[in-house]
């Protein structure tokens, strides 16, 4: 069997295993599914030793914590990730998500005011808390949501993810697809929220920003689009406010990132991207167990 065939068989087996696992989780009682998700997250923390060691260096360098404190942050992060995934799988199409998400104070009203300006809203977000549930909640609250994402290595997974999001009222724009740039501008002209996750080092146009006092390559496309369209920019994050019956309840925060005084294209992109990065850092400091420390955020440019 040649390499190409082996890879195709492997991808098919992974896809089938994920679909079967999702079906099993849906059939199980919710509390059992959530407990299983938390247990699998804890197991991943214990057995992924190389990833855990690298993540521990990152969390200690960024937050200045002890090895014991850093280990506890990473363990809770893994448990939360398992809980989030189990809840997402168990939620049925059309089921209200408001039982698991809530706005911080009047932040929902702020977002409505921003979208009411008629230019759409560029959303800056991060892989914090249950970010997929956050998107479902915002869409269920009546906001039209478009999110930028990278297609999976397997077209079947890409289609599955797109279908799940579409059922929740979320449009997915695959960043490497033909016409992606036009689709982004169309979303803003249509008064939609256009969401970017800029807390990872990815193969897109990027500049270096300061993140926890260390240089980090950060996607600069959202800032460039904001300066071009003058669409308002909102930093929107989810974080775990409580755990109730095994489910991690998410609080959704919104803050506007001002850029009125930024005119020069290159310097404006740098400053706005830095402001967005600072908003992410502030949220990670507030809820470190919700962020994906396993990602090599400060690595060389990809």
What are the boundaries of each domain within the chain?
Answer: 1-90, 96-287
Q: Are strands 214-219 and 206-211 parallel, antiparallel or unpaired?
A: antiparallel
Q: Return the closest-CA partner of residue 56 out of 75, 81, 37, 79.
A: 75
* pLDDT (tens place) for every residue of the chain, 302 residues total: 566 777 666 667 777 777 777 777 778 888 998 998 899 899 999 999 999 999 999 999 999 999 999 999 999 999 999 999 899 888 876 678 999 999 998 999 999 999 999 999 999 999 999 999 999 999 999 999 999 988 777 777 777 777 878 888 899 999 888 999 999 999 999 999 999 999 999 989 999 999 999 999 999 999 999 999 999 999 999 999 999 999 999 999 999 999 988 767 789 999 999 999 999 999 999 999 999 999 999 988 87
Token pair of 231, please? 């669409």
The span from the CA of 150 to the CA of 14, in Å, is 19
Cα distances (Å, whole numbers) of residue 205 to 44, 83, 165, 221, 301: 32, 33, 26, 6, 10
CA distance 104 to 109: 10
pTM above 0.75, yes or no: yes
Query: 160-166 long-range CB contacts below 8 Å, 24 or more apart?
Result: 160/15, 160/19, 165/135
């Amino acid at each position: 069997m040649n390499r190409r065939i082996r890879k195709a068989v492997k991808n098919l087996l992974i896809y089938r295993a994920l679909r079967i696992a999702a079906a099993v989780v849906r059939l199980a009682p919710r509390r059992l599914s959530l407990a299983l998700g938390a247990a699998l997250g804890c197991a991943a923390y214990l057995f992924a030793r190389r990833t855990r060691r690298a993540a521990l260096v990152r969390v200690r360098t960024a937050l200045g914590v002890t090895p014991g404190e850093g280990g506890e942050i990473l363990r809770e992060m893994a448990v939360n990730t398992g809980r989030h995934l189990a809840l997402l799988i168990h939620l049925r199409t059309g089921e209200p998500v408001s039982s698991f998400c809530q706005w911080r104070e009047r932040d929902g009203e702020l977002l409505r005011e921003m979208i009411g300006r008629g230019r759409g809203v560029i959303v800056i977000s991060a892989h914090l808390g249950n970010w997929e549930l956050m998107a479902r909640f915002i869409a269920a609250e009546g906001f039209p949501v478009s999110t930028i994402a990278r297609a999976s290595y397997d077209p079947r997974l890409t289609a599955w993810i797109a279908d799940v999001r579409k059922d929740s009222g979320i449009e997915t724009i695959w960043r490497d697809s033909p016409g992606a740039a036009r689709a982004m501008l169309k979303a803003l002209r249509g008064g939609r929220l256009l969401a970017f996750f800029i807390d990872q080092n990815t193969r897109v146009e990027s500049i270096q920003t300061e993140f926890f006092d260390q240089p980090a390559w950060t996607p600069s496309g959202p800032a460039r689009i904001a300066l071009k369209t003058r669409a308002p920019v909102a930093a929107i994050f989810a974080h775990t406010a409580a755990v109730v019956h095994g489910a991690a309840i998410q609080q959704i925060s919104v803050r506007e990132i001002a850029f009125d005084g930024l005119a020069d294209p290159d310097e404006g992109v740098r400053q706005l991207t830095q402001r967005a990065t600072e908003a992410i850092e502030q949220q990670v400091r507030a809820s470190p167990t919700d962020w994906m420390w396993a990602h090599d955020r400060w690595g060389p440019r990809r």
